[in-house]
Structure 1
Amino acid sequence: MANILKIEHLFKNYGSVEILKDINVEIEQGDFLVLVGPSGCGKSTLLNCIAGLEPISGGSLHIGGQDMTAVSPKDRDIAMVFQSYALYPTMTVAKNITFGMKVRGVDQATQDKKLAHVAQQLQIENLLKRKPGQLSGGQRQRVAMGRALVRDPKLFLFDEPLSNLDAKLRVEMRTEIKQLHQRLGASMVYVTHDQIEAMTLATKIVVMKGGVIQQIGTPAEIYNRPANLFVADFMGSPAMNLIPAKARANGSGTDIQIAQDRGDPIVLTDTKNRDLPEDVILGVRPEDIGDAAMRSGAHMQEAECLIDIVEPAGADTYAVMQLGGKHVTARLHSETNAAPGNAQRLAFDLGKVSYFAPDTGLRLN
């Protein structure tokens, strides 16, 4: 399948300040690419470079197989949905949606047909005669999306479109955007700082930090095999536990020794990962630490851990302990008998752990 977007060795500088550093990304037709990272990482700047709103300082950018590096935004066949909605306050919803078509000289019959189709898709038929000031945040965002949809572009660009909405509405709109993508089979690039949003929506994720791509992969790849400590810590809620440990080879594998705040160190035997350096950072997701009585499997290793805090959370209970000088969270069943101040026998799934080098932060396994 042909690439709909291909970015090669892209750099963006503001004077002597380098904002984007050697960006290489490509997606195929129908992909949903999410750019995610903390504030100031360069993700919105990259989106603006794709849109043509920011000139690039080096490299090339192709959309639909055509070089768009020096092409103006209006000729790139893209549609953009902004965080601020950017609706015309004096125009009705219908006129906001069709304004771009009117400017481009599209005939009235085609305008009416596309408006009706998009309004039905987004379920905003009853809002067409209203003005933006009469709409809720979620309704305004639907109108902004409708204005993009009538373009039928090669590429949709979303710049943190849900960040102005409350938590419940964000979840609802996230579902709508996902359904819209599945229905249209459209190609989308979406910027967010919310890693849950990224995991939920994307077919491919780009994790950024300081203008540098840290990892590109599917949501499962990013979550299960983070490339470095930054990605491991940033992606996931609760975050991956990152525990300083000692690795020592034994006859059947590797002993992983972890200091406890009180009491003897715990020792877990990893039969899957060998040839680890002595000093490692053990990465383990909260869901991969559970009640020993309820877990079994070839890679399960059990240890007595002293529980500091218990946090009931409905279907789950989170238990927090001190391991390797760090707060470590285990995701237990709601019926657990874990209690603060008591030792609890927990099972660690060593078949799913990650190891990182303490000095470079890079993945070792």
Structure 2
Amino acid sequence: MAPVLTIRNLRKAYGETVILHDVNIEIEEGDFLVLVGPSGCGKSTLLNCIAGLEPITGGSVAIGGREMTKAPPKDRDIAMVFQSYALYPTMTVAKNITFGMKVRGVDSATQKRKLEEVARQLQISQLLDRKPGQLSGGQRQRVAMGRALVREPKLFLFDEPLSNLDAKLRVEMRTEIKRLHQDLGASMVYVTHDQIEAMTLATKIVVMKGGVIQQIGAPSEIYNRPANMFVADFMGSPAMNLIPATVENGQVAIAREGDEPILIDLPGGASLPRDVVLGLRPEDIVEPGARSGAHVVPARCKVEVVEPAGADTYVVSRLGGAAVTARLSAETQARAGQPLDVAFDLGKASFFEPQTGARLN
């Protein structure tokens, strides 16, 4: 079966300014692909190229195995949900949802059936006679999604659909979208700058920076084996600790202010250059005794900042000249200015090349 979406060597430039460099992506039916990256990385431009709202400079786009590079948006069998909702203010919710079907000449019995179906699915049956101005942000978002759902397209495109909502509502709508994806088995491409949103929703993540794809993979792969320091730093909250270190005689040495360096045996006889950056997630710096195994190494750090965060406490120290965050339990006895015994769990440690940022292990 043909992939739902195939992008080959896609380039987008405005005059001399290249926005997207040789983008290659493929998604299968039922995939939830999330494009994530900082503002200005080209993710919304890429979505617009898939939708046909932006002409591309080079390469090709195929949807459902059909060449769509030059096809207008209406012929691409897609439905788009925008950040701004783009609802017609003078029409009721029901008319907003059925308008596209009416334009395409769908008979009124089918319109009615599909409207009732999505209204029930999105829990907006009681809102059908209202106008968009009488709805909350979350309700408007549901209406915009309802309008996309009734089309039953090959591909759903979401452009930062939750960024106008408050934090609590964002979490609720995220769950809603995840449930929709599971129920429908629909194929979705979703743009966000929020890496938590990306991790929770995606079956596959594309991390972008400066119009270039940095890594494509499942959320667990992106999180546990980032391809470079940019991905390591961008994905995860708090971000992965990136600690400058040196390698000598099969050991990694991490400098400590006013103390001997921390020495760590290299896992499994790995071969690394002299200067490296050690990548370690905050949850892999733990209280002594919390984990055991050959990869767990005791270390003592001087605490700079303690940040209680409910179930966790984030403790910041300085190692190798970098601020290093440990995710400890709420009961930790850490105090600012005091030394603290911790353990590094190097089972999932990443090593990076300091100049290029590329992964070494």
- TM superposition score normalised by structure 2: 0.99
Please state how far the C-alpha of 1:271 moved relative to its aligned partner.
2.6
Name the stretch that deviates more: 205-214 or 269-278: 269-278
Matched residues, number: 361
**Structure 2 Cα separation of the partners of residues 4 and 56 of structure 1:** 19
Please state how far the C-alpha of 1:16 moved relative to its aligned partner.
1.0
> 1:120-150 CA deviation, whole Å, 9 max, x = no partner?
0000000000000000000000000000000
> Is residue 348 of structure 1 aligned with residue 344 of structure 2?
yes
How high is the sequence identity, in percent, across the aligned residues?
Answer: 74
Alignment match, 1:162: 162
Please state how far the C-alpha of 1:262 moved relative to its aligned partner.
3.0
Whether the 8 Å CA contact 1:158–1:189 is kept in 2: the answer is: yes
Instruction: Note the residue ranges of structure 2 that are not aligned, 5 or more in a row.
Output: none
Q: Select the residue among 303, 310, 317 that pairs with 1:307.
A: 303
> 1:135-186 CA deviation, whole Å, 9 max, x = no partner?
0000000000000000000000000000000000000000000000000000
**Structure 2 Cα separation of the partners of residues 291 and 342 of structure 1:** 15
Q: What secondary structure, in the 3-state scheme, does the structure 2 residue paired with 1:292 have?
A: coil
Q: What secondary structure, in the 3-state scheme, does the structure 2 residue paired with 1:302 have?
A: strand
> Is residue 338 of structure 1 aligned with residue 348 of structure 2?
no
Instruction: Note the residue ranges of structure 1 that are not aligned, 5 or more in a row.
Output: none
Alignment match, 1:19: 19
Q: What one-letter code is carried by the residue in structure 2 that aligns with 1:326?
A: A
**Structure 1 Cα separation of the partners of residues 57 and 5 of structure 2:** 18
**Structure 2 Cα separation of the partners of residues 20 and 93 of structure 1:** 37
Whether the 8 Å CA contact 1:160–1:192 is kept in 2: the answer is: yes
> Is residue 97 of structure 1 aligned with residue 93 of structure 2?
no
Please state how far the C-alpha of 1:303 moved relative to its aligned partner.
1.1
> Is residue 44 of structure 1 aligned with residue 44 of structure 2?
yes
Distance 1:17 1:318, change over 3 A: same
Aligned ranges 1:261-280 → 2 under 5 Å: 261-272=257-268, 274-280=270-276
**Structure 1 Cα separation of the partners of residues 258 and 31 of structure 2:** 49
Please state how far the C-alpha of 1:227 moved relative to its aligned partner.
0.3
> Is residue 240 of structure 1 aligned with residue 236 of structure 2?
no
Please state how far the C-alpha of 1:273 moved relative to its aligned partner.
5.1
**Structure 2 Cα separation of the partners of residues 15 and 306 of structure 1:** 53
Distance 1:355 1:273, change over 3 A: farther
Q: What one-letter code is carried by the residue in structure 1 that aligns with 2:278?
A: L
Alignment match, 2:145: 145
Whether the 8 Å CA contact 1:270–1:299 is kept in 2: the answer is: no
> 1:220-248 CA deviation, whole Å, 9 max, x = no partner?
00000000010000000000000000012
Q: What one-letter code is carried by the residue in structure 2 that aligns with 1:296?
A: S
Distance 1:242 1:273, change over 3 A: farther
Alignment match, 2:283: 287
**Structure 2 Cα separation of the partners of residues 6 and 51 of structure 1:** 13
Moved over 2 A (4+): 270-273
Q: What one-letter code is carried by the residue in structure 1 that aligns with 2:248?
A: R
Q: What secondary structure, in the 3-state scheme, does the structure 2 residue paired with 1:223 have?
A: helix
Q: What one-letter code is carried by the residue in structure 1 that aligns with 2:209?
A: K
Whether the 8 Å CA contact 1:300–1:347 is kept in 2: the answer is: yes
**Structure 1 Cα separation of the partners of residues 309 and 360 of structure 2:** 33
Please state how far the C-alpha of 1:111 moved relative to its aligned partner.
0.2
Give the RMSD, CA atoms, in angstroms.
0.9
